[in-house]
Chains A and B, each alone.
Chain A
Amino acid sequence: MKACRSIAPLLEPFSDGELGPEKMLEVEQHLLECRLCVERVRFGDAMRRSLRRRVRETAPVSDAFRSRVAEALAAAREREWERLAAARAERRHWLGFRTILPMAAAAALTLVWAASTGPERREQRRATAYAQVDPVRVDDLLEELVEHHVRGRSEFTELSLLPQAEREVGVPVRVPSLKHFGAQWEGASVVPVLNQRAASLRYRLGNHRVTVYVYDSSRFPIEKRLEQRLVGSEPVYVGMRRGYSIGATEHGGVGYALATDLTDAETAELVAAIY
């Protein structure tokens, strides 16, 4: 039997579940033969149970405290909204000076394209594509897109990997060039959204982040909860979620949605320029 002296330092990590398999066996073997160490382990465990009970009993969360925390959270949310609103107002000013010319150029291009295809036909096509979809969970879908915009990361930056993404997404995925707005493409990933998959293309525009989602538009009826707007004669859909601006459009069965921290007017301009 190994001496207690060599086993004693292992007893606490043993009870804490922090020993590797070999040491664990060594301790277990010793415990089969040593009543003193068995009692040490049992005493340690009993002390842990008593501590847990006492510590939890002596600090119950009262309803009053729970309400107080809830109120503090609500007040913090309020302040955050005010801060975002102020930041948006500031950005609107900034974008006006920095990008007004490229924006105008993009709008002009869109106008030419729109005139050549005719908005009515596109509207019909869009209606057919979206008709198959249950719109009930659109809000969840928008939340997920924003969530990914906030937290997601690019998984690859090689354009050669895009065809692989296309197979998962089920529609052609190309990287729209937003260079004339000064936006740099940073990378892409495929993200699961409500059991579907969308390609997520991430850009940086100055200090702002822009995520463009490309998806099968028949499966993502995003426009159901957004407001229709014309940029030139290009109909786009825009709205806000959690302080982020969302824009969407559709071309030939391929949906494009943008999540940005720009204003909704700026996002609308970007969406309209996607095609």
Chain B
Amino acid sequence: MKQRATTNRNFEGEVLDHLPSLLAVATRLTRNGPEAEDLVQDTVLKAIRANEQFESGTNLRAWLLRILTNTFINRYRRGGLERSVLDGPDADPLADGWVSASTIESMRDPESQALRPLLEAEISKALDELPAEFRLAVVLSDVEDLSYKEIADVMGCPIGTVMSRLHRGRRMLKARLYEHARAFGIVGPEENIGSTDAVVELEQFRAKKGAIA
């Protein structure tokens, strides 16, 4: 049975329970507190008006986030989300084998706990600098825990596109974090630790790659 046994007021209550999620995502999308609050208010009003379209048994939060995203696009980004894709080198320092396991470990778990807030602040800053479509994919997955399918519904794109946006968004965050960790001495320069991990300095790595090619 698809009919809901809740009243309009109950539906309102359920929608309002998701205010923290809506505001968190809106804040990251707009990067502006007052605009984020306006966006959430618009979203809630639209959701209540369109409550008959919500299919009971599906994820209400995902449905609300879809309304929020569409409202954001219509109101602030008439041409859709940002398409600029920061086309840098395609190498991923952490996935391509030129950063060692111990280096990755020191970023994840810095020896000095005082460094953690520094790294976290950097992640947050880096997130805000991602193009909106990557930023939204990362927030919907990593903060809101939506499935790929739900993110695809929210963003109105195929699942493959979601995976690609997530991967590229996360890769940018990791690269940024790695650079930051290097700059602050949280991780030192890499040593060549043998063929298994195949860890070398980036320049060496590239030189080696070039020599092979």
Q: Are B19 and A53 closer than 8 Å at their CB atoms?
A: no
Q: Are B2 and A152 closer than 8 Å at their CB atoms?
A: yes
Q: Are A56 and B24 closer than 8 Å at their CB atoms?
A: yes
Interface residue? B41 (CB, 8 A)? yes
Bound together, the chains give a CA A39 to CA B147 distance in angstroms of 23
Contact of A147 among B6, B174, B177 (CB under 8 A): B6
Residues of the B chain whose Cβ atoms lie less than 8 Å from the Cβ of A55: 24, 27-28, 124, 127, 139, 143
Can you list, as one digit per residue, whether each of A117-144 has a CB less than 8 Å from chain B (1) or not (0)? 0000000000000000000000000011
A56 touching B143 in the complex, CB below 8 Å, given contacts A69-B41, A76-B49, A150-B52: yes
Bound together, the chains give a CA A8 to CA B93 distance in angstroms of 12
Interface residue? B200 (CB, 8 A)? no
Can you list, as one digit per residue, whether each of B157-178 has a CB less than 8 Å from chain A (1) or not (0)? 0000001001100100110010
Can you list, as one digit per residue, whether each of A26-56 has a CB less than 8 Å from chain B (1) or not (0)? 0000000001101110111011101111111
Q: Are B166 and A12 closer than 8 Å at their CB atoms?
A: yes
Chain A residues 74-92 with CB under 8 Å of chain B are 76
Q: Are A38 and B27 closer than 8 Å at their CB atoms?
A: no
Contact of B3 among A11, A36, A47, A148 (CB under 8 A): A148
Interface residue? A58 (CB, 8 A)? yes
Interface residue? B138 (CB, 8 A)? yes
How far in angstroms is the closest Cβ of chain A from B149? 9
Can you list, as one digit per residue, whether each of B133-168 has a CB less than 8 Å from chain A (1) or not (0)? 000001101110001100000000000000100110
Q: Are B27 and A51 closer than 8 Å at their CB atoms?
A: no
Q: Are B100 and A36 closer than 8 Å at their CB atoms?
A: yes
Q: Are B148 and A54 closer than 8 Å at their CB atoms?
A: no
Q: Are B170 and A12 closer than 8 Å at their CB atoms?
A: yes
A147 touching B3 in the complex, CB below 8 Å, given contacts A47-B177, A51-B142, A66-B19: yes
Number of chain A residues whose Cβ lies closer than 8 Å to a Cβ of chain B? 50
Residues of the A chain whose Cβ atoms lie less than 8 Å from the Cβ of B2: 151-153
How far in angstroms is the closest Cβ of chain B from A34? 9
Residues of the A chain whose Cβ atoms lie less than 8 Å from the Cβ of B127: 51, 54-55
Q: Are B20 and A72 closer than 8 Å at their CB atoms?
A: no
**Stretch from B62-70, B71-79, B82-90, B101-109 contacting the other chain:** B101-109
Number of chain B residues whose Cβ lies closer than 8 Å to a Cβ of chain A? 60
Q: Which residue of A lies closest to B116 (CB)?
A: A50
Residues of the B chain whose Cβ atoms lie less than 8 Å from the Cβ of A230: none
A36, A44, A143, A242: most-surrounded residue (chain B CB, <10 A): A36
Q: Are A58 and B27 closer than 8 Å at their CB atoms?
A: yes
How far in angstroms is the closest Cβ of chain B from A208? 16
Q: Are B123 and A47 closer than 8 Å at their CB atoms?
A: yes
Bound together, the chains give a CA A11 to CA B166 distance in angstroms of 12
Chain B residues 13-63 with CB under 8 Å of chain A are 16, 19-20, 23-24, 26-28, 33, 36-37, 40-41, 44-45, 48-49, 52, 56
Interface residue? B211 (CB, 8 A)? no
Q: Are A151 and B24 closer than 8 Å at their CB atoms?
A: no
Q: Which residue of A lies closest to B33 (CB)?
A: A59
Q: Are A40 and B94 closer than 8 Å at their CB atoms?
A: yes
Bound together, the chains give a CA A12 to CA B7 distance in angstroms of 40
Q: Which residue of A lies closest to B142 (CB)?
A: A48
Residues of the B chain whose Cβ atoms lie less than 8 Å from the Cβ of A76: 45, 48-49
A51 touching B143 in the complex, CB below 8 Å, given contacts A46-B108, A76-B49, A147-B3: yes
Contact of A73 among B27, B40, B48, B102 (CB under 8 A): B48
Q: Are A58 and B45 closer than 8 Å at their CB atoms?
A: no
Interface residue? A65 (CB, 8 A)? yes
10 A-B residue pairs with Cβ-Cβ distance under 8 Å, sorted by A, are A16-B147, A43-B105, A44-B174, A54-B120, A59-B27, A68-B37, A72-B41, A73-B44, A73-B48, A242-B8
Sample of 20 further A-B pairs with CB below 8 A, known A16-B147, A152-B2 = A16-B166, A42-B104, A43-B104, A43-B174, A46-B108, A50-B123, A51-B139, A51-B143, A51-B173, A55-B127, A55-B139, A59-B24, A59-B26, A60-B20, A61-B23, A68-B41, A73-B45, A148-B3, A151-B56, A191-B3
